[in-house]
Chain A
């Protein structure tokens, strides 16, 4: 049978849709593809779900007894830190997935199609936002079980979730650019581990920065992760009577995170789109 049988002749591309609707529909098509992948290879999902549960239990039940935070109960203090750490690590997936797609040649396929030039990146960062959202829900449920409570109005609670997800979404674009710039997906995993582990631990995520040696304390106070944690703590009403360090980003945590996230997006979205227009598998 002829592959180009007459009854298929009308299978021509529709008149080109407008740029905005094309962007939406292409972005959604790629998002759907990524989510299907998530569903079919559940190891990723399991990791995204189990790791936060383990961290919540580890810190609240095992270290929690030994770590004293002046002014509040450790579990209340801890949760914002774990939220921040988990969504930041979750964002690195955007990088390794882009690198993997490039290696598999799928990017070549996408790049020969008349699709919106940012759709693959939008789809990638969108689906990782969904993954981070799922992780957040699981962590909140686990936190609730071990005694974490939100002491803030519901709107403030939602703002806290929104801020964590916004920051992680912006960070996904940073990682996506890295993912398109390295030779293999493994590089991303190793590099992000080496950079993000210290970044998330030398912060106020698990301990008060005042307890750190002076140079590390200064680093922790200006570390963007600390600002994110501090902002989430404030919005969830988990600060208690813990004193806020004197550094500007700590005193103005919510604006710091907002500005940081917007700056990341303004810089890295255009860089990613430019990079994408020239990449191809080797």
Chain B
């Protein structure tokens, strides 16, 4: 459904060429959801912009539903729906007017555009807000309108660029519910995110990207198998216990335990989270190690990154091109 190969995008900058995409291959089969997981600057937005006809790659090919996006962008635009990282809604129009306008620009008839806008307002639970200018809306509501805008025609292929970045947890959950619902209808979806949990919740398949190319691909389970399921994390009262704690965590963990830069946080990937935590706490108690805090957490993008690249996701700036995601 989406087939991209060898995508390169090079920007000129004062400090030499910047490779926002450095030969990215991507394939999303019909009716499936693929998440592009990566830190800021990895090339997520750039690849979405290429596939949605917004920018032309320096090299490479891209097909969406068999349509060559580079040579026939107009035809591609008729079948795609796009919702960006920054909610692209008109502040001065009401929610209804925004959706109606989008419908008209997809060349629905005036009546059809109105009807569709009304349907979406109801389905996205924006009824109270539908008749007020977007200006006064919360971030979550704007995102919902933006997402609704992407669904005005039932698009064959949907692109969501960081749909929940910057949202509070409750809005994030509500948006997830909407996206899951879409997915159950068999929409082909390409989604970008910085959150492993989001990729896990919403997608069939994850491509981890870094420096403008795909560095790992697989289902959430496959990726997690690579990095271990949960992680057990303890914070020590006394940094002097770090060595002992590391040994105990290593005993019950799946791999080496690591000590954080603060010298007091020790963690390890584990296969069975709750059981490992019980054992770890028991052994630490017997060894007389005092704890500030102890718990389990799900692996994060950073863990995946550390495992795959040996460096932290936040420190990718020197290798990864500035994608200008934060420039606004």
Contacts and interface: CB of A to CB of B under 8 A. Distances in A.
B55 A113 contact: no
Interface in B75-117: 77-78, 80, 82, 84, 86-93, 97, 101-102, 104-109, 112, 115-116
The contact size tier of chain B is 35 or more
B101 to A, nearest CB: 6
A280 B325 CA distance: 12
B154 A4 contact: yes
Contacts of B109: 14
A282 B86 CA distance: 11
Given A8-B116, A12-B153, A108 B92 contact: no
B107 A14 contact: yes
Interface in B135-155: 149, 151-154
A201 to B, nearest CB: 34
Interface stretch (B179-187, B205-213, B217-225, B274-282): B179-187
B324 interface: yes
B78 A114 contact: yes
B119 interface: yes
Given A25-B104, A113-B106, A282-B328, A11 B78 contact: no
A281 B328 contact: yes
Q: A4, A32, A41 — which one has the most chain B CB atoms within 10 A of its CB?
A: A4
A234 interface: no
B182 A280 contact: no
B77 to A, nearest CB: 4
B154 A8 contact: yes
Interface in A75-131: 103-106, 108-115, 119
A252 B124 CA distance: 61
Contacts of B106: 13, 113-114
B54 interface: yes
Contacts of A3: 120, 123-124, 151, 178, 181-182, 185
Interface of A is mostly: loop
A16 B78 contact: yes
B77 A114 contact: yes
A49 B243 CA distance: 75
Nearest to A17: B107
Interface string B43-54: 000000100111
Contacts of A1: 123
B155 to A, nearest CB: 10
A252 B123 CA distance: 63
A25 B108 CA distance: 11
A113 B102 CA distance: 8
B90 A106 contact: yes
B88 A108 contact: yes
A12 B178 CA distance: 21
A40 B93 CA distance: 8
A36 B328 contact: no
Interface of A: 1-5, 8-9, 11-14, 16-17, 22, 25-26, 29, 32-33, 36-37, 40-41, 103-106, 108-115, 119, 278, 280-282
